[in-house]
Structure 1
Amino acid sequence: MNAAHHRRRFSDSEIIALNVVWNRLISVCEEQASVLMRLAFGPIVREAGDLSAGVFNADGEMLAQAVTGTPGHVNTMAESVRLMLDRIPAASLQPGDVLMTNDPWLGAGHVFDFVVVTPAFFEGNLVGFLASTSHVVDVGGLGWSAEARSVFEEGVVVPVSKLRRGTELNEDILGIVTANSRVPKEARGDILSLLSCNDTGAARLCELMQEFGYRSLETITDFIFDKSSRGMREAIARVPDGHYENVLTLDGYDSPIVLRASLQVDGDRISVDLGGSSPAVERGINCPLNYSIAYASFGIRALLAGDIPNNAASLKPVTVTAPPGLVVSAERPAPVTARHVIGQALPDLVLGCLAEALPQNVLAESSGALWTMSISGNNEQPFSSLNVALGGMGARPGCDGLSTTAFPSGVGSVPVEIAETSAPLVYHRKELTTDSGGAGQYRGGLGQTMEISARHREALTLSAAAFERLTTSPSGRSGGLGGAKGRVEISDGTVVVDKGLYQIPPGARLILHTPGGGGFGNPENRDREALKRDLAHDLVSEEMAQKLYQFKNPTGGTEP
């Protein structure tokens, strides 16, 4: 945060007015996100909300973000704007200019996510920036898979460039992207949707400044940063000082991956060291440090300060570090396509540290990485379908975990009707998986079972790059049991055992069972009425009710 920002006193009337402006800034971001979702070509953005949108001050510091969006996009974007301005200084920008990059180490961690930054000019002066990020379905290379051995094989990388100069689109840079994409019209459309949503945000920001008589965003910056910083620091100060550690083991690709965190609470600050985690691997599941920082810090905020708005000031009291060259701090040119396999495990990792400091306050482990399903075919007409399958969230102190909920990413899934319209696939089944939630006084959220096949009896190719928790299950907390492990198979008998590419023969079905969340508390203490409801809705089977919950008479009669 810029040193020029300092605490100042505001009168009661100023506080009321500034809160109104703050809420209006958030509405600017929400309109950005809404425009992006309406204009995006890719269903993963349009339907699932795999994006971010935010407004920044003239120093490139994030003031507000849209509610729609993922921590991996929002929290990396908070740093991306500054990094992009280091390469093309703000002083060189003119009205209409727009910056763009998909560099994984400057943006959101892999080549599919483009970050677009638009300066906002008001009365001839640069007053702030609008930024947005979303997923472009194809940018060349090997496509969505973990098979690349370097980022050079994963697709075209666009350095920080001007997407628009004044009123003129940079067709040269767009041409490079479309020439490398298997779906050039969609790739171009997705990038232009980012440009359009920022233009809308910039227009609304200027209207807001006109309405409230602002010449700059300095006053609202001071107010937002003062309130957010104090709220975040007060939340951290309630955690006992100390050193806390946790270790998490993931399937990895060829061999298991160990994630290790050392968390230090010192007054009103938290530092996390990810050193000791496994070295970077030769497959595309490595995670750049910027993406690791985004998700590790989110895990801390989710527990301690969920009601504190996310911005540059509230992010500042938490620092996340790692020596270079680890799977959590991969350096160029490491392959990083499925970096979220590592990144989205980090909230559970740091929450495990905080469970030592705040026993009985931390939810159980969740399913973790979003199961990105990349299915392609070439027989009838070439296509590539990208959708997500969702696992269960860990049980929370005092309530059950949420089922089929993308924690920590927060995205939804593409509805079956849209997925079947966008690609020649048939979704035969999509339902909650009985007994997948970890048993506990509070039950873990359930995973889901899905069956998919080709519509025209053609061969399909599946990338299993993001399928995680196939060998290790999400752990329970405070006596709760672990959730179910994930399982993926093909109806011809093939079992998916790694993150490679698999062939689905003509007529065969892909069958997925996503992991369930861990349980919280001793299962024998579960409320009997809650357990009866679980049985009535097939969330828990009679066998497991007897075995895990010691529920002796699940089908009727009086319980002893």
Structure 2
Amino acid sequence: MVSGMDPVTLSVLTSALSGIAEEMGALLIRGSYSSNIKERRDCSAAIFDAEGRMVAQAEHIPVHLGAMPEAVAAVMALGAAPGDVYVLNDPYSGGTHLPDITLVSPMAHEDKILGYAVTRAHHSDVGGMSPGSMPAASREIFQEGLIIPPVRIVRGGEYQDEVLDLILANVRTPALRRADLRAQIAANDLAERRLNELIERRGEEVVLSAFEEVLAYTERRTREAIRALPDGVYTATDYLEGDGVTEEDIPIRVTVEVRNDEMKIDFSGTAAAVPGNVNCPLAVTRSACYFALRLLLPEDVPANAGTYAPLEISVPEGSLLDARSPSAVVAGNVETSNRIADTVISALSQVADLPAQGQGTMNNLIIGGRGWTYYETIGGGQGASAKGPGPSGVHVSMSNTLNTPIEALELEYPMRVTRYEIRRGTGGEGLYRGGDGLVRSVKVLEAATLSLLTDRRRHPPQGRRGGHPGATGKNLLNGEELPPKKSLELAPGDEVTVMTPGGGGYGEPQ
């Protein structure tokens, strides 16, 4: 190993590694067929070292990226070999929720495994009890889609057609799934080629040293940021609005302890597992904590496993935030992850100047019929901060996707968008206002199934330092209000409207 790498070389190689991850993501987006990936960019890419530590990531989806280490660890335990590609989505074997399909490939140089390329993409249908595979009514994971434990989809460079055929036989849109999975495989293959090209230019010893150096550098910067906080214990509580079975609030409680350059996050007092599908796999819980911690770091700190080294996370076994099979978890990844992040950030805001709460929900809208499935998360208001007002109509916190353009939506699906606009005045008042939410109305042209997985319909996003809360959201069917989480059948001509929350304000209003 090259010791004491000079700052310029480290900076160049850090950018090169990040560039590999970004190029993986670009190929995946351009090579996919489904609008959820090619338009909304609901996908993520990263590279890991031979020990399973994330070295670099693309600036994609926080909830995807923070939960990837468990997927890599699951594949490493099976003894992956050069030329293999593993596929998985099982939340209890390295996944997050079933629609997120992860592909893990060893990256080898001269038959020696130097690391792993990973892509994770949200597939708009993986089977289950309703189109889109995100039913509000699921009560166990078997209802949410096909469960794929880590299994080779490519072995020694050869496609395992029987594995792909099995997957495609259990989804409603097999042609799209085939194309999207092949795009993920191509992105992983690209990462191995680019890593080998980097080794040819710089040498294997230098590149492997860069892996170690960038992790150590990030850890140092993270410890510096934690050390700058006052030692102490800080608590916060927030709530999920029902689980799809009942409308009762579900508490998430956190205690954050800062000691010198280390941090412990403890969720004792959080609710037990629930019958509905807002239960959260431990990997997703960790991912939300990583996101909250990264808000403390300067923008120039690379995103990798070095961030996690000073952090200890404690979760009651079998609780809401440590789901155990066969608990339903499809909303845990999208809604509970947001509430975990909000709660941890609320505790940290007692000692750090952090933004007001954003909308705190992904506003999952899932509509599907015979042979088609539409899935979208809808943006809302971001919280204001000391730097200025919050932006309006954006994806916040654990999501980082785009919208589906109206033209693409109406071209691909038997639906029409009848209203799409900023929800003016929904951001919280303050010295700086929170961002406004959105209004999105969609009319179906044929019979379909609707699922809504949303939150912040009763508890508004809170302001900071005297700022006012943002407005809560609403779900409507033909003008009649629906609960936050609901599945039902739609008739031709029915119109679904999602009104998203605004962000909290920052500072006392003047």
Shorter-chain TM-score tier: over 0.9
How has the CA–CA distance of structure 1 residues 506 and 114 changed in structure 2, closer, same or farther, with 3 Å as cutoff? closer
1:70 to 61, 65, 74: 61
More divergent stretch after superposition (301-310 vs 364-373): 301-310
Q: What code does the residue aligned with 2:27 have?
A: V
SS of alignment partner, residue 273 of structure 2:
coil
User: 2: CA distance between counterparts of 1:333 and 1:400?
Assistant: 43
Written as runs of structure 1 = structure 2, the 5 A alignment for 1:29-428 is: 29-67=21-59, 69-86=60-77, 88-90=78-80, 93=81, 95-142=82-129, 143-215=133-205, 217-253=207-243, 254=246, 255-339=248-332, 340-358=334-352, 361-378=353-370, 382-408=371-397, 409-428=399-418
- Tell me by how many angstroms 1:305 deviates: 4.2
Q: Do the aligned residues in 2 keep the contact of 1:239 with 1:265 (CA within 8 Å)?
A: yes
Deviations 1:285-336 (A, max 9, x none): 2111110110122112123344311111122212222012222111111001
TM superposition shift of 1:370? 0.7
Q: Which 10-residue stretch deviates more, 348-357 or 502-511?
A: 502-511
- Structure 1 position 520 matched with structure 2 position 495: no
Alpha-carbon displacement from aligned partner over 1:369-421 (angstroms, at most 9, x marks no partner): 2112101234xxx4221122111111112311111121111211111111111
- 1:556 equivalent in structure 2: none
Shift, 1:105, TM fit: 2.7
SS of match in other structure, 1:118? strand
Give me the whole-angstrom Cα distance separating, in 2, the residues matched to 1:386 and 1:442.
33
CA contact (8 A) 1:480 1:522 kept: yes
Residues of 1 paired with 2:345 and 2:276: CA distance?
Answer: 27
Distance 1:280 1:240, change over 3 A: same
Q: Which residue of 1 aligns with 2:450?
A: 462
How far apart, in 2, do the equivalents of 1:480 and 1:125 lie?
Answer: 55
2:265–2:314 CA contact under 8 A, matched in 1: yes
Counterpart residue identity of residue 127, structure 1 = L
Q: Hey, what's the Cα distance between the residues in 2 that align with 1:217 and 1:17?
A: 10
What SS does the corresponding residue of 2:387 show, helix, strand or coil?
A: coil
In structure 2, distance between residues paired with 1:106 and 1:400 = 41
Instruction: Please state how far the C-alpha of 1:104 moved relative to its aligned partner.
Output: 1.0
> Is contact 2:93–2:149 with CA below 8 Å preserved after alignment?
no
Q: Which amino acid aligns with 1:313?
A: G
Q: Distance in 1 between matches of 2:403 and 2:484?
A: 23
| Aligned length, in residue pairs | 502
Q: Which amino acid in the other structure matches residue 339 of structure 2? A: A
Contact 1:377 1:459 in 2 (8 A): yes
Alpha-carbon distance in structure 2 between the residues aligned to 1:215 and 1:120: 15
Letter in 1 for 2:217: K
Mapped partners of 1:451, 1:72: distance in 2: 27
| Contact 2:198/2:207 (<8 A) preserved | no
Report which structure shows greater RCO (CA 8 Å, sep ≥6). 2
Superposed CA offset, 1:106-137 (max 9, x none): 33411111111111221232222111111122
User: In structure 1, what is the Cα distance between the partners aligned to 2:151 and 2:302?
Assistant: 31
Bigger mean CA deviation after superposition, 75-84 or 435-444: 75-84
- C-alpha separation between the residues in 1 aligned to 2:176 and 2:182? 10
Distance 2:216 2:296 in 1: 21
Specify every segment of 5 or more residues in structure 1 that has no aligned partner in the other structure, as ranges: 526-560
Shift of 1:42: 2.2
Contact 2:290–2:307, Cα closer than 8 Å, also in 1: no
The letter for the 1-side match of 2:411 is T
CA distance in 1, matches of 2:110, 2:489: 59
Per-residue CA deviation, residues 143-166 of structure 1 (Å, 9 max, x unaligned), is 221212111121111111111111
What amino acid is the match of 1:286?
A: N
Q: Could you list the runs of 5+ residues in structure 2 that have no partner in the other structure? A: none
Q: Aligned to 2:66, what secondary structure does the other structure show?
A: helix
Q: Distance in 1 between matches of 2:99 and 2:449?
A: 20
Matched residue of 2:255: which SS? strand
Query: What's the CA shift string for 1:154-187, capped at 9, x where partnerless?
Result: 1111111111111211112112211111111112
Aligned letter for 1:341? E
Report if aligned partners of 1:474, 1:517 keep a CA contact under 8 Å in 2.
yes
Q: Which amino acid aligns with 1:81?
A: V
Instruction: Give me the TM-score of the superposition, normalised by structure 1.
Output: 0.87
Distance 1:346 1:163 in 2: 34
In 2, Cα distance between the equivalents of 1:135 and 1:100? 13
Cα pair distance change 1:398/1:215, threshold 3 Å: closer
Rate the CA distance shift 1:39–1:107 in 2: closer, same or farther, 3 A. Answer: farther
Q: Which residue identity is paired with 1:185?
A: A
Which residue does the alignment assign to 1:479?
466
The one-letter amino acid of 2:372's match is F
Q: 1:507 aligns with which of 484, 488, 493?
A: 493
Q: State the percentage of identical aligned residues.
A: 31
Structure 1 residue 433 displacement after superposition: 0.6
Amino acid aligned to 1:477: R
Contact 2:258/2:264 (8 A) holds in 1: yes
Partner of residue 496 from structure 1, selected from 482, 485, 488: 482
Runs of 4+ in 1 over 6 A off after TM superposition: none
Provide closer, same or farther for how the CA distance between residues 350 and 329 of structure 1 changes in structure 2, counting only shifts above 3 A: same
Tell me the distance in 2 between the aligned counterparts of 1:403 and 1:280: 34
Summarize deviations over 1:205-259 as a string: whole Å, max 9, x none: 1111111122574311221122111111101110111100000022123111111
- Any idea what SS the aligned residue of 1:347 has? helix
Is the Cα–Cα contact under 8 Å of residues 74 and 150 in structure 2 kept in the other structure? no
Which residue type is aligned with residue 344 of structure 1? N
- State which drifts further: 135-144 or 265-274: 135-144
Preserved CA contact (<8 Å) 1:8 1:222 = no
Measured at CA, do residues 376 and 321 of structure 1 come closer, stay the same or move farther in structure 2, by a change above 3 Å? same
What secondary structure, in the 3-state scheme, does the structure 2 residue paired with 1:356 have?
coil
